């Protein structure tokens, strides 16, 4: 079935965002929805209850344990890997063996921030996914294990993101050939990093891609959206608990911490992918509006009933494989200059979400 494409109405002085709605979920995705709700969803709901009952430290420590068993998620065959130790965090290079070693050839790079709500996830949980995205992009990925709650506040997490970007610049990677990317919390961090480069006088990266970004620590908009009760496995309460009891200081959330509260002027081209029933759909929509208001080329892909970061299931889900291919295509277009800078337009392609 062909993709149905709809466009939001732009302000006459702003760039018109492209909103693509993939209107048919794969059979695998439809099966994954109830399975995730009855397993991962129940586990996360339990974590939210633990944190909501004044045991936030216990919730955060349990979240950090997720990365340990994820060592079984090995990268695809042919992936090269090298660990890098920066002053306050570690990272790793991932690249396909058909590419040059990024430590010797500084051509282009994907700077990736994993998801996990700033309390879980790491190199192990996301190594396989990041390696797949890197391969589809035909560039090496710098996968960052930034500091998280409860050991570091979001402001320190952002410092790590900035430092990882500085590291790539110091290695000789041209800023216009660096794409910042991430999923969930990491997707929100990718946007916040791009904004921080402007604030700190650093050159802007070449592009931004985000998978279901968590970009607003204030849950007000999400709490009034129908997807609060439709998400397959991410309870909106989890995000609210983390923000209210982990990110807030003395009960206050600084609006500047959230990417959605900034002026996006001069940001590079953006691709956002999100599921149609995700509780984070409102974050993606607000980010899209901010880009359009600032005349930033933005493409929002809304995948029919796709679970949160369904890309992780690409070994089984055809639409997850398609989403990764779209990410790779966007990254290659940014690097080769096929996507215009602010003020230009991105073409709309007719797509089929049938295991291409």
Please say if 20 is a catalytic residue: no
93 membership: H or E segment, kind and range: strand 90-96
Number of residues in the chain: 356
* DSSP single-letter state for residue 168: H
Bridge pairing between strands 109-113 and 141-145? parallel
Please say if 181 is a catalytic residue: no
Please say if 184 is a catalytic residue: yes
Alpha-carbon distance of 90 to 70, in angstroms, equals 17
**Residues β-bridged to residue 143:** 92, 112
DSSP codes joined into one string, 309-353: TGGGGTTT-HHHHHHHHHHHHHHHHHHTT-S--TT--------B-
CA atoms within 13 A on the CB side of 179: 31
Catalytic residue among 108, 120, 181, 184: 184
Catalytic residue among 225, 245, 278, 314: 278
Q: Report helix, strand or coil for 15.
A: coil
Interior angle at CA 259, CA 59 and CA 42, nearest 5: 30
Catalytic residue among 245, 308, 310, 311: 308
DSSP codes joined into one string, 216-278: -S--HHHHTSGGGGT-SS--HHHHHHHIIIII-BTTB--GGGSGGGS--TT---EEEEEETT-
Residue for token pair 């996914």: 129
* DSSP single-letter state for residue 200: T
What are the structure tokens assigned to 307, written together? 């679970």
Enzyme catalytic residues = 184, 278, 308
């Amino acid at each position: 079935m062909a993709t149905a494409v709809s466009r939001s109405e732009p302000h006459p002085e702003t760039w018109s965002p492209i909103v693509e709605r993939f209107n048919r979920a794969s059979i695998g995705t439809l099966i994954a929805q109830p399975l995730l709700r009855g397993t991962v969803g129940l586990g996360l709901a339990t974590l939210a209850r633990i944190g909501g009952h004044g045991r936030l430290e216990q919730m955060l420590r349990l979240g950090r344990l997720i990365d340990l068993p994820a060592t079984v998620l090995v990268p695809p065959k042919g992936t090269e890997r090298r660990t890098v130790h920066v002053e306050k965090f570690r990272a790793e290079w991932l690249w396909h063996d058909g590419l040059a070693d990024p430590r010797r050839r500084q051509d282009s790079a994907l700077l990736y921030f994993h998801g996990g709500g700033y309390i879980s996830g790491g190199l192990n949980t996301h190594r396989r996914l990041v390696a797949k995205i890197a391969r589809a992009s035909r560039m090496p990925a710098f996968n960052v294990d930034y500091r998280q709650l409860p050991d570091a506040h979001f402001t320190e997490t952002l410092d790590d993101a900035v430092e990882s970007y500085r590291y790539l610049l110091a290695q000789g990677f041209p800023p216009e050939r660096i794409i910042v990317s991430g999923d969930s919390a990491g997707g929100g961090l990718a946007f916040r990093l791009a904004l921080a480069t402007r604030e700190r006088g650093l050159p802007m990266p070449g592009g931004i891609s985000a998978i279901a970004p968590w970009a607003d620590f204030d849950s007000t908009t999400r709490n009034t959206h129908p997807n609060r009760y439709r998400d397959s496995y991410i309870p909106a309460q989890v995000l609210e608990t983390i923000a209210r009891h982990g990110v807030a200081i003395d009960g206050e959330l600084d609006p500047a911490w959230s990417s959605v509260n900034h002026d996006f002027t001069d940001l590079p081209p953006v691709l956002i992918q999100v599921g149609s029933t995700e509780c984070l759909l409102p974050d993606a929509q607000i980010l899209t509006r901010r880009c359009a208001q600032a005349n930033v080329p933005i493409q929002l892909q809304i995948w029919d009933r796709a679970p949160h970061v369904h890309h992780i299931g690409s070994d089984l889900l055809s639409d997850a494989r398609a989403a990764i291919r779209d990410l790779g295509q966007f990254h290659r277009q940014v690097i080769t200059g096929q996507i215009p800078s602010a003020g230009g337009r991105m073409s709309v392609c007719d797509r089929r979400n049938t295991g291409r």
